[in-house]
Amino acid sequence: MSTKKTILIADDSPAMRALLVSTIEVLGDYRIVEASSGFEALRLLPREHVDLILTDINMPDINGLELISYLRNNSNYLTVPVIIISTEGSLKDIEKGKRLGANEYLIKPFNPDRLQALISSYLCICP
């Protein structure tokens, strides 16, 4: 049985996902699943036991807000921490995302330390 915690990254930019993956990998032993669209995130959710979600807002098909709304209206994902990663142009949308139930947000460009600190605080790997 694997005790690794799983992080879902939903972002349509492969470069952004690669960057997030490399930021998370230094933190320790996490399992990372990547979704290149809102649809893919929806498809992955029931298959993976996801412990934390990083999501972009501007995505094709369904966007980050719609994804968060889905998560927070679904008993299975009600408590899964969600961190929005977006740009300052989307401040109003980020605000909405927070109201929908996102736990945190990061504005690009952000300091990798900040993301690492957030992940560690939500997914503390206790000795």
Among 6, 31, 33, 36, binds another protein (CB under 8 A): 36
Q: Which among 2-10, 59-67, 117-125 is the span making contact with another protein, rule CB under 8 A?
A: 59-67
Q: Is 33 in the site for another protein (CB under 8 A)?
A: no
Q: How far is the CB of 125 from another protein (least distance, A)?
A: 18
CA-nearest of 113, 106, 52 to 84 is: 106
Pattern 38-57, binding to another protein, x per CB under 8 A? xxx-xx--x----------x
CB 10 within 8 A of CB 40: yes
Q: Is 118 in the site for another protein (CB under 8 A)?
A: no
DSSP element (H, E) containing 111? none
Q: Is 19 in the site for another protein (CB under 8 A)?
A: yes
Quick one: CA torsion of 37, 25, 82, 124, rounded to 10 degrees? 160
CA-nearest of 28, 36, 34 to 5 is: 28
What one-character DSSP code corresponds to residue 72? H
Q: How far is the CB of 41 from another protein (least distance, A)?
A: 10
Q: How far is the CB of 42 from another protein (least distance, A)?
A: 6
